[in-house]
Amino acid sequence: MKRIILLSTITAATLFATNGDHMIGLGVESRALGGTGIANFIGAENALTNPAILAKTKSDHEFSFGGTIFKADVSAKTTAGIGTNGSTIPGTGISRNSSEGKSMIPVIALSHRISDTMVLGLGMYGTAGMGTDWRADDTPYQANISSPGLMNIGLYNMRSSLMLMQFAPSLSYGTDKFGIGATAIMQYGQLSIDYDTYDSQNSYAKNHIGNGTSNDFGYGYQIGTYYTPNDKLTVGAAYKSAIDMEYKDQISKAALAFGYGSHAGALAAKSDHLEQPSEVGVGISFKYSHMTYALDIKEIKWADAKGYKDFGWKNQTVFALGIKHSNENYWGGIGYNYAKNPIPNNTSTTSVAGGANTDGDTMNLFNYAMFPAIVEKAYTFGGGYKINKFTMIDFAYTYSPKTTKTVSAQTVGVGDITTSHAQSATTLAMKYTF
């Protein structure tokens, strides 16, 4: 237990995902090949893509470890600030870059063949996370001035941090034609949300909202299968269960401080549950000579997950494509990943009694300032080289070009908010097979 917590702690809190808050792939080869792994064999790292594929391992033992250096570039612009009378002042917005920058994400995986048809796997992965930091030394409000002034606290000095780590023992059974597998998942998560607002009853003094960091453990599973009709073609399917997490006094207090859920007939964030959604996917892998072509399609059920559905997230269909060239001593590959932004403009989609849009604007502020999971495309490449009979060095690089979205947050004091987000990540790992 202590080891799991340690690994989670060193996974720095930033937004490091492309498919919502999920990593693209969980190992170096999967990331190099666009996040594929439902039908193509990528070694011990298959435990959380499709555990059945573990049965395709050729070695008795495999152990890999490494890490990803991830960099997120997130910026935001607003069009308005808040005056001393509580009204919005157009043209007084801010432009800011999030202070959350680089983070380190660990990957550890191993597999052990226990019979001709059975393989045991074990992995520890940083699987998901997101967050921003808009804190800055803003000019404080000057009390008792003769004309209305600006409550210059920018994006409320918001800071958010979610990080998730999964411990995953797996068991697979497989032959040359068919295989099945299952993974038991124990997930550790941390969430913190805090920001500053103003107190109109106390000379508009700053009022800090936040309860430190909350953590929880959750449990789930993944099952998968594959079918290989010939030595070139493999098709696979996998299902991953939802994992419910509860972070005490985080979401409920943070949202209600903005009045979210206070309108009759509106969605209400009364719970501190933030459930990692279920996933279902299919994949196909085709090998010809030294080439492998892989395509995965999966659905991430954000709209059914506690917490995410309260803030309007929509389901995502993820398309992942990878192409690899390999021989006994090296491999190299490229990939592409696409998933549509799961966060809508909630002001236009949320119905609130009386025609007010406070709930929709609050949802937009939290999504696009605190959890801006808006990146849609990723381009990937990587490779590996065998330095001796037992050891291979692998690397992968992923790049997500900047995505920019503008939504309304008028009734919560920032006018329109325009968020831009780009990502890059470098993964380096060593693999031992014996």
Degrees to nearest 5, angle at CA 174 with 168 and 178: 120
Q: What is the CATH number of the domain that holds 312?
A: 2.40.160.60
Q: Which residue has the tokens 């470890």?
A: 65
Question: Which residues make Cβ contacts (< 8 Å) with residue 66, sequence separation at least 6?
Answer: 28, 106, 107, 394, 427, 428, 429, 430
- Quote the pLDDT of residue 20: 86
pLDDT one digit per residue (tens) for the chain, 434 residues: 333 223 332 333 344 457 888 888 888 999 999 999 999 999 898 988 999 999 999 899 999 999 888 888 999 999 987 665 666 777 778 888 998 667 788 889 999 999 999 999 998 888 878 889 988 765 544 443 444 455 556 788 889 999 899 999 999 999 999 999 999 999 999 999 998 876 656 555 677 888 789 999 999 999 999 999 999 999 999 999 999 999 998 988 887 767 665 543 344 556 899 999 999 999 999 999 999 999 999 999 999 999 999 889 999 999 999 999 999 999 999 999 999 999 999 886 655 444 456 678 888 999 999 999 999 999 999 999 999 999 999 999 999 999 999 998 888 878 899 999 999 999 999 999 98
Show the beta-strand stretches assigned E in 114-154. 118-133, 150-151
Q: Which two tokens mark 373?
A: 């999971």
Closest CA to 243 of 133, 167, 313, 345: 167
Look up the pTM and report it.
Answer: 0.89
168, 48 Cβ separation under 8 angstroms: yes
Question: Could you give the 3-state DSSP secondary structure of residue 310?
Answer: helix
- Quote the pLDDT of residue 129: 81
Q: What is the 3-state secondary structure (H, E, C) of 377-414?
A: EEEEEEEEEECCCCEEEEEEEEEEEEEEEEEEEHHHCC
- Quote the pLDDT of residue 147: 42
Q: Which two tokens mark 123?
A: 């992995």
Q: Residue 208 class from Cβ within 10 Å (0-12 exposed, 13-18 middle, 19+ buried)?
A: exposed
Q: Which two tokens mark 95?
A: 């432009």
- Quote the pLDDT of residue 349: 64
In this structure, are strands 377-386 and 291-300 parallel, antiparallel, or unpaired? unpaired
- Quote the pLDDT of residue 141: 47
Question: 297: which DSSP letter?
Answer: E
How many domains does the chain contain in total? 1
129, 11 Cβ separation under 8 angstroms: yes
Degrees to nearest 5, angle at CA 137 with 412 and 258: 20
Q: Which two tokens mark 120?
A: 């045991």
Domain of 41 in residue numbering reads as 2-433
Sign of the dihedral defined by the CA atoms of residues 230, 231, 233, 235, in that order: positive
Q: Which residue has the tokens 């666009």?
A: 34
Sign of the dihedral defined by the CA atoms of residues 169, 68, 225, 329, in that order: negative
For 194: left if phi > 0, alpha if psi spans -120 to 50, otherwise beta; the answer is beta
Question: Which residues make Cβ contacts (< 8 Å) with residue 334, sequence separation at least 6?
Answer: 32, 33, 34, 322, 323, 379, 380, 381
Q: Residue 114 class from Cβ within 10 Å (0-12 exposed, 13-18 middle, 19+ buried)?
A: exposed
373, 405 Cβ separation under 8 angstroms: no
β-bridge mates for residue 106, sequence order: 67
- Quote the pLDDT of residue 264: 39
- What type of residue is 402? K
- Quote the pLDDT of residue 357: 60
